[in-house]
Structure 1
Amino acid sequence: MQAAPLLEEIADGPPGGRAAWMRAADGTRLRVAHWPCDSARGTVLLLPGRTEFIEKYGRAARDLGARGYGTAVIDWRGQGLSDRLTGDTLTGHVGDFDDYQQDVAALLAACAAWDLPRPWHLLAHSMGGAIGLRAALGDLPVATCAFTAPMWGIKMRAVLRPLAWSLGWAAGRAGLGHRYAPSTGPQSYVLSAPFETNDLTRDAGMHAHMRAQLTAHPELSLGGPSLTWLFGALRECRRLHALPSPAQPGLAILGTDERIVDPARIEARMARWPGARLERLDGALHEPMMDTPETRAAVWEMLDRFWRENA
């Protein structure tokens, strides 16, 4: 491992954070980070969503530290400070969703090298929820699996779904898979969507904080997904839906006003996961960990209780 930058001035994380460069099996350079906690009762492996970056979870790491947990987090390939994968660095692109499992392996290798306190607990958000579920169905060494708004299905109008499938497939065949998906472009959603109509958070302060992070460090910004990413995401969601649930205890947290991922797929998964439970947050949008103070407090209480019950 080599030391990597951790932008503490925008992260607002707990003291003692560190970051490192790791190499995936295919050579892709990835950034991983760890925020410690004194006398930690375990470590949370936090898997972010699409467009996100390590520093976005600095405040979450602070809240987790207050409850006795260290936090490890990663910049997925194609975003954050990890290697971008197309000539247009603002395109959210991945060659194949299976490639993200190499990134998980790199994060685990860093956690082992740092000898992070166990037990380890999975906490995965949005796209990270799809990646994390796939990893948990393998040999992910975690005691529990928790998710916020996991991307086990993508919310879109029924009439558009066949078009998304066919367009993504055809673009890949024609060598155009790096192009932006329809209605998207290089603009960052956080910077372009006003608070009043955004789909992420009801908290004006958190929205302003996320915008300030990207304004201060535009190199962290990411625009819309590529056609290849969209096709891969749809295919991965379909594959995951056909698989059984992990052996570990499961918890999913979902806002009642979710507009990005498909709640029906989440409900279906949790209904057939023995002993797992689905918690609903009244009025919350896509990012419960970055919603109002009351919602964030409820999220941390749910997670802490879940981890204590299943440590």
Structure 2
Amino acid sequence: MQLVDLPGNPIPDGATVGACRVPGGSHIRFAYWKASATPLKGTITLLQGRAEFIEKYFETIEDLRARGYAVVTFDWRGQGGSDRLLTNPRRGHIDDFSDYLSDLETILSEISLAELPGPHYALAHSTGGAVLLYGAERLRTRFERAVLTSPLIGLGKVGWPPAIISPLSHALSSIGLGTAFVPGGKPSIREPFKGNFLTSDERRFSRTFEILDASPVLEIGAPTIDWLAAACRVIKRFNAPDFGPSLNLPVLMIAAGEDRIVSTRATEHFSRRTRSARFVELPGARHEILMEKDFHRDQALTAMDAFFAAR
């Protein structure tokens, strides 16, 4: 297992890179770094979003290390440098989010908790945030606190009408179409900067595709129908009346004011009924907060600093 090194996106010094075998037999790629500054503050396990990969977070990893944190991150099964689950490597597939939780628990037991110092924190984006919430009952003794950027608690305003997404995806899955792309889905995530829903920062937007140009094997395209059905199931679980009040892990939810991928209002509603959750909205920011312009990104990192320091 290797990392992609580019002049405009160099590998942070001191990387340890490898692969873990997860339940089901797949191998997932991981990397970790020790802190680059003192005082040492512990370890952050960084949970990526759907279709992302380790290299996309090099800048953020450097920022966290400079704050005194060791950092662990990994590619979920089915994306980035990890094993694919289907013959077509561009289909973003999962059967159930419990598989993602198995990935995280493997990384925690074999890398984060085994190799790096506590206290342990999580920084999770989008799908990564959904995985962390999904497994919060099992993870609350592993992490002191967690920061979630644009967590997948509700779907945004793209694609199908929200009311039909869950029944339609489950119906299509039940007739054997679960491994197909969602209707209209493409084998690539590439799109023009103008009009994109991810970030208003053109340099960081372009950097993602420069990495994929250098290593096309890291890319996946649209999700499969089964992936979407699995996401709908965890969203339904998050909306159960007893889910939020039972959450014991302290979490800070940082939402983007201009998010079209996930629902900022769903995140706000969840945080209001969850005693252990705090909510911050960044007006003007798009979905990928850690890939946004410095103004938005710095706000998020400052909020993270304060939240982790308050333990």
- The equivalent of 1:78 in structure 2 is 78
Distance 1:76 1:146 in 2: 18
- The equivalent of 2:275 in structure 1 is 274
Aligned residue identity for 1:206: R
Aligned residue identity for 2:285: A
Distance 1:158 1:97 in 2: 21
8 Å CA contact retained: 1:13, 1:62: no
Distance 2:226 2:232 in 1: 10
Aligned residue identity for 1:33: A
Which of residues 1, 5, 19 is equivalent to 2:2?
5
Structure 1 position 165, deviation (Å):
2.3
- The equivalent of 2:43 in structure 1 is 43
The question of 1:263 aligning with 2:264 is answered: yes
In structure 2, runs of 5+ residues without a counterpart are none
Distance 2:285 2:158 in 1: 21
- The equivalent of 1:241 in structure 2 is 239
Structure 1 position 162, deviation (Å):
4.1
Distance 1:275 1:102, change over 3 A: closer
Q: How many residues align?
A: 304
- The equivalent of 1:252 in structure 2 is 253
Distance 1:157 1:16, change over 3 A: closer
The question of 1:297 aligning with 2:298 is answered: yes
Aligned residue identity for 2:213: T
Distance 1:86 1:251, change over 3 A: same
Aligned residue identity for 2:260: R
Aligned residue for 2:84, secondary structure, equals coil
Distance 1:56 1:157, change over 3 A: closer
Deviates more, 1:100-109 or 1:222-231: 100-109
- The equivalent of 2:135 in structure 1 is 135
Instruction: Give the TM-score, by structure 2 length.
Output: 0.92
Deviates more, 1:6-15 or 1:85-94: 6-15
8 Å CA contact retained: 1:167, 1:227: no
Which of residues 29, 32, 37 is equivalent to 1:31?
29
Q: Report percent identity of matched pairs.
A: 34
Deviates more, 1:216-225 or 1:25-34: 25-34
Aligned residue for 1:98, secondary structure, equals helix
Distance 1:94 1:11, change over 3 A: farther
- The equivalent of 1:219 in structure 2 is 217
Structure 1 position 12, deviation (Å):
3.0
Which of residues 187, 192, 195 is equivalent to 1:194?
192
Aligned residue identity for 1:293: D
Deviates more, 1:142-151 or 1:155-164: 155-164
Distance 1:157 1:14 in 2: 35
8 Å CA contact retained: 1:24, 1:105: no
Distance 2:160 2:280 in 1: 30
Structure 1 position 158, deviation (Å):
10
Aligned residue identity for 1:251: L
Distance 1:225 1:24 in 2: 21
Instruction: Give the TM-score, by structure 1 length.
Output: 0.92
The question of 1:309 aligning with 2:307 is answered: no
Which of residues 18, 21, 34 is equivalent to 2:16?
18
In structure 1, runs of 5+ residues without a counterpart are none
Once the two structures are superposed, the pairs formed by residues 45-64 of structure 1 within 5 Å of their partners are 45-64=45-64
Structure 1 position 161, deviation (Å):
3.0
Aligned residue identity for 1:202: S
Distance 1:166 1:71 in 2: 39
